Every structure is written in C-alpha cells, then in structure tokens.
Structure 1
Amino acid sequence: MVSIAPWLATIKGAQCFNPEHEAQALRKAMKGLGTDEDTIIQILTLLNCSQRQQVLITYKSTIGRDLIDDLKSELKGNFERVIIALMTPSTMYDVHELRRAMKGPGTDESCLIEILASRTSEEIRNISQNYKLHYGSTLEEDIISDTSGRLQQVLVSLSTGGRDEGTYVDGSLAQQDAQCLFEAGENKWGTDEVQFISILCTRNVEHLLMVFDVYRSIANKDITDSIKSEMSGDLEDALLAVVKCLRNKPAYFAERLYKSMKGLGTDDSTLIRVMVSRSEVDMLDIRREFLAMYGKSLHSFIEGDCSGDYKKVLLRLCGGED
C-alpha cells in the first residue's frame, strides 16, 4: 500500500463518486465508430486509484465486458500505456514494472534501482509477496538471475524490505557507521563496497541522515561525492539513488523526470512510471523541487516534450503550471 499524503497529491479522487455512472460514461466513450479520448482522460485522471478499481469491477458487472480489454482495443502507443498504468493498482504496477525491467532483451537497471530504492519497507514487502503470487518465482530469484556483482547485492538487500523503519538514532552507532564508511572508501586503497551496502541499505532514515552529517566532518566531503569517486556504473547509480531517496525523495523523482525528457528522445517508461506512481503521493513536492532544480516548471517540460492525448494525461497528472 503506497503511503498517501493527500495534501501533496495532484490526483485526489472524485468527491461525488458513482462507479456505475463512470462505467457507463467510459463505455459510451468507446462504443461505436471513433473514440472519445477526452472523456476517457477526464474520468480516469479525476478518479484516484481506489475509485478506478471500483469502476473496473462495476464495468464488468453492469456491462459484461472487461474495461482493460476495451481500453487496449481503442487506444494505442504511449497514450494506451499511461492509461493502462493508471488502471493498475499501485503495488501491481510496481510488480509489472519490475518484471518488465528483467524479462526480455536486456535489463532496465535504472527501473529496478528506482523502485527498490524509493519504496518503503512495507511497500517492498507487499511488492515481493504479489510478485511471487503473480509470476511464481520470487523477486529475489529473478534479480539474482538477471543481475550480477555488487549491483545484485544492493538490489537483493533492498528487495527484502528489511530496512529499519524506526526513528531511533544512536549517536555512538552513527559515529561508528560514519567511520566505517570512511575506512571502507576514502581511507583505504580500493573500496569495501559491502560495508557501504550493509549500512546504506539497512539503517533507518533518521539514523543515516546523522551518519551523513558525521561522515562529512570526518571525510571533509559529502557521502555522495565519496560514492562518485569510489564507485562506478550501476553500483554508483544504485547507492546514489539510495542516499538521494533518504535525503529528499521528491528531489530524486524530479531528477528522474528531468533526465527522462532532456536530450534526444524521451524515456517514456520512466516518465509514465514516475508521473503515475507519484500523482497520488507527492507530486506537488516533486513539482516544487523540479522548478527549484531546473528553473523551469515540470508542466512546461511536459508541454515541450510530449504530444497529443499522451501529453493531456501527463499534464493532468502534473496538476498545474507552477
């Protein structure tokens, strides 16, 4: 279950909600020649995830058809992808994205890192449970079969959902952890990556924030700078993502969105995943961080990077121009 903070969401749900009315309106929008895309967008971006699931059930019981099948037959491209993502319960959406990242040609390491570094321990445990139920194999088994080396160790550690979720900070342990990180990297020839993985993937957030402060006083540099100088490749990306999510999760997602749209081509998988998964969680904070970090609004980036009905959906999820 995703941790919901309604005051930070752009999609809050309809106050006067009638699932049968919405189901009939969706059927009307898809029945006959042509498709009323604007009605589909208006309905599905007004409802929250729970309400969409009620519409899904009501559509089947009152109309006798499968709403997902009808949407897939009427829509196409990225517009279809973002609408189907909206119609998928949040935990199952993460399950599907993790599976997609590992199956087929190549591996989408950045997707694996993003989801496993940013979800809470409870969310990851729910993801793992549903992954096993849906696919037969465990999330850990598939990570092990599809990744290798230190990245595999980070992802397996995160996939257990074993991070301490408490708020207790032990000052002496924080000092010890900071010193251990220093000795494992900056203060030795080579790097003991296992120490970094062990501490960064298991300690609670408040404790690690103190560790980072102490580390700076010991090493005279930020923990992120040490990770950049001591690590490389996917391991560097994974540990940086962990630290960024611990410090400021909305800023991490703002960076993910920016990188998905800047330069040649668009990383639509990342763009859709972040916009859909955060629209009911912390999109307002992500928008603020995006503007502060890049000097342009998220809304303006989407306007310039996307088109058609796909753009309309993303702008509704974005929720505003600031």
Structure 2
Amino acid sequence: MRQPPFLPAVISPSQCRGLGFMPDTPTGTNEQAIIDVLTKRSNAQRQQIAKSFKAQFGKDLTENLKSELSGNFERLMVALMYPPYRYEAKEMHDAMEGLGTKEGVIIEILASRTKSQLQEIMKAYEEDFGSTLEEDIQADTRGYVERILVCLLQGSRDDISGFVDPALALQDAQDLYAAGEKIRGTDEMKFITILTTRSATHLMRVFQEYEKIANKSIEDSIRSETHGSLEEAVLTVVKCTWNLHSYFAERLYYALKGAGTRDRKLIRNIVSRSEIDLNLIKSQFKKMYRKTLSSMIAGDTSGDYKNALLTLVGSDP
C-alpha cells in the first residue's frame, strides 16, 4: 500500500461540485479540489467517482479534466482516471502512433509485467484500438527488436514453482557465453530465447554462472555485444530480473535528473506503480541515490503538477 491511506470512495454532491467543472462555480476550476479528490483514492475508487460525477451532472469527468486543465497537470490527472490496464495499453498505442516508434515505452512495460498483467493489457488494447498488440508491434518494429518484444508479450517468464535446475542454469550460461563473448559477432536469438523463456529465479542463477565463466557481468557483455533498442530491451529484462524496484527507481531518477524533466516517463511510472510497489521503489530510490524521490520531484516540478505528484508519492521512507 502507499501513503497516505486512501480516503473513502463515496464523495458528496458538494465535493463533486468542488471539482470545479460546473457552470455555477464562480471561481472557475478548483485545482486543489481535483488534487484532493483524485490523488487520495485508489483507481477503483476513482472509477466510482467518475460514475457518481456522470450521474449527478451528466458530464464525463475525464473529458472535463481534459477541457479544464492543461499541460503536465492535465496529463497526470487524466492518467489517473484510466483503469490500470487500459492506461498501459494506451501508453503503448501512443508509443507506436504516428512517425517513429518510442520503443523504450514498449520495452519498459513488456519487460516489467507478469504474464497475467500482460494478458489484461492485451485484452484492453484490442478492445480499445481494434487490433492486437502483437500485430501492431510487428507492424511497427523490425528485426531482433521485434522478436524480443513479441517473445516478451508471450509472458513465458513467470516464476511459478521457484525451482531452479543447476545443470540447466549452467548450460544456459555456457550457451550465452558461446553466443556472445566466445564468438566473433553475436547470436542474438540465443540471448532472446533464454531471456524471454526462463523464470526470474532461474535467470538469476544463470547470470551468476555466466559471470564465473566470462569473468564479467552479463550486463557488461550485453553492452559490448548489442546496441540500440535491442541492447535496451535485453538490459531491461536483466534489470527487472535482478530487482524490479531498482529498475523503476532508476527510471524515475533519470526522468528527473539533469536539464528538463521527462514528464511522460515520470507520470507513467508513478501512476502505474502507485498501487503496486511504489513504497518499495521509494525505499530503493533513497538507497541507490541518497536522496528521496519526493525531494527530486519538489526540486524539478512546480505548481499543481508538483502538488499532485507529491500527494501521490506520499511521505518519504
């Protein structure tokens, strides 16, 4: 769970009116009321609030947010109103829409979700966009990047039993070494096959065995043997295998670090993890970077956008 605790889902007509969208609200949009109502509830509660708003005023809450707000504050509030799997489906659809494909968004989502989560995302994608996620990925990507994304989409990496066969782990490590460091060039499909079909606990044993054989980490080998989006995809699988919370802490850190904020990445990762493991990510963030996530948000954002993010993130660990 996250901090602060969720407030009750039911809100009164006056609270609904306090969102600031009604014609008889003399002061216009009440941004603080929007923050207070929407960021302190769970997603399921927000869906109930949207139904209540529609019933009381005959208006769609999400559409009102889009028309009354602007910039990153609008993007954040609208993101909160999507059911989780529909939001992630939309993020991937947006990443493939128009010229160029933002492969990093697709890699992030596919490599960090469980098989059951991916199934729900695929279902939402097809319902909302009329095509399958696999079809659109195949149409928008090429080569080994397409192959690893499609393999990730199959969700074959879930760890059910936790059992690791030491002999198979050693064989996989030897196969990875033979496919990369040992030869001139790289057998990319060997890397893709092992990384997308083995469980997380198995792969951790493989990575340990690999380092003994190669005298270097699997991450260092990947960086020397691959490049571009394929390198990003393979490294993401490895990072999510080692420590999912460290992976998201790193994503959030680099969304905030340096000149300019990568706001879409920041919003997506906070919203999508807010009811899953954001507290654990915050703790890992502080351990890795010796500063809190909230302090970086406070220093890098402003106004209602900052206030809403800080309410979502909650108190420091």
**What TM-score does the superposition give when structure 2 sets the normalisation length?**
0.94
Match of 1:25 in 2: 15
Shift of 1:115: 0.5
Out of 14, 35, 41, the position equivalent to 2:35 is: 41
Shift of 1:10: 3.5
Deviations 1:252-285 (Å, cap 9, x if unpaired)?
1111111111122211110000011111111111
Distance 1:299 1:24 in 2: 31
Match for 2:83: what amino acid? Answer: P
Distance 1:54 1:228 in 2: 47
Match of 1:155 in 2: 149
- 1:19–1:55 Cα contact (<8 Å) kept: yes
Distance 2:3 2:234 in 1: 29
Out of 13, 18, 27, the position equivalent to 2:6 is: 13
Match status 1:287 vs 2:261: no
Match of 1:317 in 2: 312
Q: More displaced, 58-67 or 296-305?
A: 58-67
Shift of 1:168: 2.0
Runs of at least 4 residues off by over 4 Å: none
Deviations 1:155-196 (Å, cap 9, x if unpaired)?
111112232432221111111111111111111111101011
Residue pairs, 1:173-188, within 5 angstroms: 173-188=168-183
Match status 1:271 vs 2:266: yes
Match status 1:93 vs 2:87: yes
Match for 1:233: what amino acid? Answer: G
Shift of 1:11: 5.9
Shift of 1:153: 0.9
Match status 1:218 vs 2:213: yes
Shift of 1:56: 1.2
- 1:163–1:202 Cα contact (<8 Å) kept: yes
Q: More displaced, 289-298 or 198-207?
A: 289-298
Residue pairs, 1:188-203, within 5 angstroms: 188-203=183-198
Distance 1:26 1:158 in 2: 42
**What TM-score does the superposition give when structure 1 sets the normalisation length?**
0.93
Distance 1:241 1:69 in 2: 35
Aligned-residue CA RMSD (Å) = 1.4
Distance 2:33 2:237 in 1: 39
Q: Sequence identity of aligned pairs in percent?
A: 49
Match for 1:159: what amino acid? Answer: L
Match status 1:120 vs 2:120: no
Match status 1:239 vs 2:234: yes
Distance 1:96 1:18 in 2: 25
Match of 1:304 in 2: 299
- 2:282–2:316 Cα contact (<8 Å) kept: no
Distance 1:18 1:297 in 2: 29
Distance 1:96 1:214 in 2: 39
Q: More displaced, 226-235 or 258-267?
A: 258-267
Match status 1:248 vs 2:243: yes
Shift of 1:80: 0.6
Secondary structure of the residue that 1:19 maps to in structure 2?
A: coil
Deviations 1:93-134 (Å, cap 9, x if unpaired)?
000000000002221111111101111111011111221121
Q: More displaced, 23-32 or 59-68?
A: 23-32
Secondary structure of the residue that 2:306 maps to in structure 1?
A: helix
